[in-house]
Amino acid sequence: MGNYSYLKKVVNNANGCRINWDKANTEKLFKHWLMEDVYKLKDKRPETLADMAKKWDDTKFVGYLDNDYIESLMEFCRILEPCDTFPRLYYDYEGYDQLWYLEFYPGTEKILYGIFEFTNILKHRIPKHPEEIKSNVTSAEYAEWERIYETARHEVIESVIFMDGWKVNQLKPMMLSSSQMIEKYLTLMGKGYRIV
């Protein structure tokens, strides 16, 4: 169980940003099983960052960036060939009204991540859920609401890519306990929760 990440967009020449797998320090890269599995594909390894973005699609990715995964990603960023830009990958985080991005600085270990929570934008674009209006909701009414919701959600995701209001940070391993990592994430999102 868990929340999956869905690739929504690649920008800033992610299609032209090549991966030099031969430069990889596998001790660092293999700190995450997915990176190890992809590396071991040999002749079928992704050739560009955009290709690799598809490997992270429909996996437990953006919400599961623990220290080992971060260190693996930093090594991955180091083996990206410079491409005169900083490629960015956008992912929808399942179960949350959040769009995340990872911005890679090829040839270095620097990766920025951004989070945009779009709950407030979305709620102004959809009608109330049918069950909030009446008790007997038909399957057709529910299906129509779902269609409107999914269309609005897609439109919001497309538009927030270009909006201000992103919470941006550098991706770095933090020697924190799981509860400290959760608390740091919730603080970043402005929730101010404390784990007790």
Q: Could you report the per-residue pLDDT of 142-164, keeping only the tens digit for each?
A: 888 899 999 999 999 999 999 99
Q: What SS3 class is residue 15?
A: coil
Structural contact between residues 4 and 82, judged by C-beta atoms closer than 8 angstroms: no
The whole-angstrom separation of Cα 4 and Cα 6 is 7
Residue 173 carries which side chain, given as an amino acid letter?
Answer: P
* CB-based contact 182:195 (threshold 8 Å): yes
Give the global pTM: 0.84
Q: What is the pLDDT of residue 196?
A: 40
pLDDT band with cut points at 50, 70 and 90 for residue 104: very high
Q: Report which DSSP code applies to 63.
A: G
